[in-house]
A and B are shown apart, each in its own frame.
Chain A
């Protein structure tokens, strides 16, 4: 089955700096890669996703890049703000079965004011 590894497990940045979280996956059949933000006491919330037919996707301050050959994808947050502080999860699945996602271990991001 699919295995998703995520690094780092914790990340602390100063407000305004950029944050990068990296994930690798094992199953070459995976072609859908969502990123979730989980705030304390809440469920994961989709913030951005990418399909394997594109290499990069951007939405305001967040972007995701995908390297299919190397089987890794990354989340980039620019101009971080304190409200970006949360746990971020990457996930991998097959696009037509996106409900069955394999999650990474999560990254706790702390943005210091």
Chain B
């Protein structure tokens, strides 16, 4: 079964550094998402992306965050100047096998970001 793949599985960075988290959504999916899960807490929506632009974003997704689909397969999340509170598991997800937003979310296994 097709999977969403994320790299790296674990990223350690120093406060103030930029990080890029990478995702390869399921082929032919049209809707892409980033979610965040701080250790022991709930999964939180960050941003949704469709047709090469952000369709919706949460309050968490401030100016420090950006997303990009640089080519036909990758979907990236960039954090420009990391803060300690950015430490979390970041999940990429995709949906829309048929082009409809209401098809189920498929999540990757996440990237654990540790900011020191």
Tell me the smallest distance from the CB of B104 to a CB of chain A, in Å.
Answer: 5
B95 partner residues in chain A, CB cutoff 8 A:
98-99
B45 partner residues in chain A, CB cutoff 8 A:
100-102
Size of the A side of the interface (Cβ < 8 Å), in residues, is: 24
By secondary structure, the A interface counts as: mixed
Which A-chain residue is minimally distant from B45 (CB atoms)? A100
Size of the B side of the interface (Cβ < 8 Å), in residues, is: 23
Count chain B CB atoms within 10 A of each CB in A36, A97, A98, A105 and give the residue with the most: A98
Q: Give a binary string over B85-108; 1 marks a CB under 8 Å from any A CB, 0 the rest.
A: 000000101010000011111111
User: Are A103 and B43 in contact (CB-based, < 8 A)?
Assistant: yes
In the complex, A28 Cα to B48 Cα: how many Å? Answer: 22
Q: Give a binary string over B37-59; 1 marks a CB under 8 Å from any A CB, 0 the rest.
A: 00001111100100000001000
User: Are A104 and B42 in contact (CB-based, < 8 A)?
Assistant: yes
Give A residues with C-beta under 8 Å from B. 32, 34, 36, 41-46, 49, 89, 91, 95-106
Give B residues with C-beta under 8 Å from A. 4, 31, 33, 41-45, 48, 56, 91, 93, 95, 101-110
